[in-house]
Amino acid sequence: MFGALATGRTRIKGLLEAEDVINTAKAVTALGAPASKSGDTWEVLGRGVGGLTQPVGPIDFGNSGTGARLMMGVIAGHPITVTLTGDASLTRRPMGRVLRPLRQMGLEVLEDKETLPLTIRGTSDLLPIEYELPVPSAQVKSAILIAGLAAAGETTVIEREPTRDHTERMLRYFGADVRSVQQDRLTRITVKGHAELEGREITVPGDPSSAAFIAAAALIVPGSEVTIEGVLVNPTRTGFYLTLQEMGGDVTFLNEREQGGEPVADIRVRASSLTGVRVPPERAPSMIDEYPILAVVAAFARGRTEMLGLSELKVKESDRLAATAAGLEANGIKPIVAGDSLIVDGNGAVSGGGTVTTHLDHRIAMAFLTMGLASRQPVSVDDGSMIATSFPEFRDVMASLGAHIG
């Protein structure tokens, strides 16, 4: 998306060619910024902020909530009318939290609803706003900041709790004027409008959320040791690994370095005896996608693991809180769901043998397939096809490490 909003060519190496990313490449191409692959490099021919054009038909984001929500911020600054749609899971997910601030800026929504499919109309006269996030959300923050690139003046997002800051880092890397200021326990992130971005060379670091499944497998399968190379270790994304360390996991960051404005490291994980811990609610934004696999790890730990502040899990690809609890129950674990908390009492072993309903959620599928690598009986999932949404190489990577996933 930033390549599409920049002038000139953006070349990207190390791109995860998952369905979410491919759908985004198709989307920017439909908007007049061709994205294509040559060898191991993707190239986007940018049109500049405000330079995208009317697509011929609807834009389908498949299962990608992030893609759809951020694209709303992109479209907001263009005088075009676009219909966004997605698969059965995405069309059930709420878009209101993104639409509310974008409407304040001038985006029009042509239907009286807040789920896809939606037809939206942007404008070349976008207004800057100052917006305090009602709940922590990097997607909402990012959509506003992206829209702010095209607004007249400065657009500010105020956070009470820190969220992933990849958007701010990458906007700076592309040449945008972005400031982050801490004041009275709040963070104010401001982007200057009428921005001029320039195409860049990008090497994408490894995704810590995808790496989490490999790390979890190495922890719970006796005798394992795995080093995952070149993983993003931005502090807004490492809550899962910090929690594993607190549980007694042998998890070490090696060869720490910076790459494209982001901190990167190799993560070495060795099988460990784990103990339950309390995971505080303020850690949730840094590991929101990792709670299903953390719950699996907790089932193999000894003692109680309390995961607090999980309201955001209820509005993911599925109600992940309910789906995770049901998956644990199907495999002999008796979790407790209390409001926005998930409590798992582990005894160091898992019976397994159950079939997990995934609700078309790729992270639920991968979490419980990982559970099956160390449980007494195999674990099945009702559908694994959607794993390609985020980690199409999951089975092959796990097989290369000795796993048997049918």
* Interval 123-140: pLDDT, tens: 999 999 999 999 889 999
Single-letter amino acid, residue 278:
R
Measured distance CA(340)–CA(142) in Å, rounded: 25
In this predicted model, what pLDDT tens digit does every residue of 328-372 receive, in sequence order? Answer: 999 999 999 999 999 999 999 999 999 999 999 999 999 999 999
In this prediction, residue 316 carries a pLDDT of 73
CATH topology of domain 2-203: UDP-n-acetylglucosamine1-carboxyvinyl-transferase; Chain (3.65.10)
> Half-sphere exposure of 66 toward its Cβ, with a 13 Å CA cutoff?
16
Element (H, E) at 42: strand 41-47
In this prediction, residue 16 carries a pLDDT of 87
> Are the folds of 2-203 and 208-400 the same?
yes
Enumerate long-range contacts of 394-403, CB under 8 Å, 24 or more apart. Answer: 394/210, 394/213, 394/366, 394/369, 397/214, 398/213, 398/214, 398/217, 398/369, 398/370, 398/373, 401/214, 401/217, 401/218, 401/224, 401/226, 403/217, 403/373
Please give the torsion angle defined by the CA atoms of residues 16, 19, 24 and 29, in that order, rounded to the nearest 10 degrees: 100
Please say if the pLDDT value at position 317 is more than 80: no
What are the sequence ranges of the domains in the chain? 2-203, 208-400
Residue 40 annotated as catalytic? no
Measured distance CA(222)–CA(402) in Å, rounded: 12
Averaged confidence pLDDT in the chain: 96
In this predicted model, what pLDDT tens digit does every residue of 223-280 receive, in sequence order? Answer: 999 999 999 999 999 999 999 999 999 999 999 998 877 999 999 999 999 999 999 9
Please say if the pLDDT value at position 307 is more than 80: yes
> Which residues are registered as beta bridge partners of 12?
42, 202
Listed in sequence order, the residues at least 6 apart from 93 whose beta carbon sits closer than 8 Å to its beta carbon are: 65, 115, 116, 315, 316, 317
In this predicted model, what pLDDT tens digit does every residue of 379-401 receive, in sequence order? Answer: 999 999 999 989 999 999 999 99
Mean per-residue pLDDT, 7-36: 96
**CATH number listed for the domain at residues 208-400:** 3.65.10.10
Q: Which of 165, 289, 382, 383 is catalytic?
A: 289
> Which residues are registered as beta bridge partners of 81?
121
In this predicted model, what pLDDT tens digit does every residue of 75-88 receive, in sequence order? Answer: 999 999 999 999 99
Radius of gyration for the alpha carbons in the chain, expressed in angstroms and rounded: 21
> What does the chain come to in residues?
406
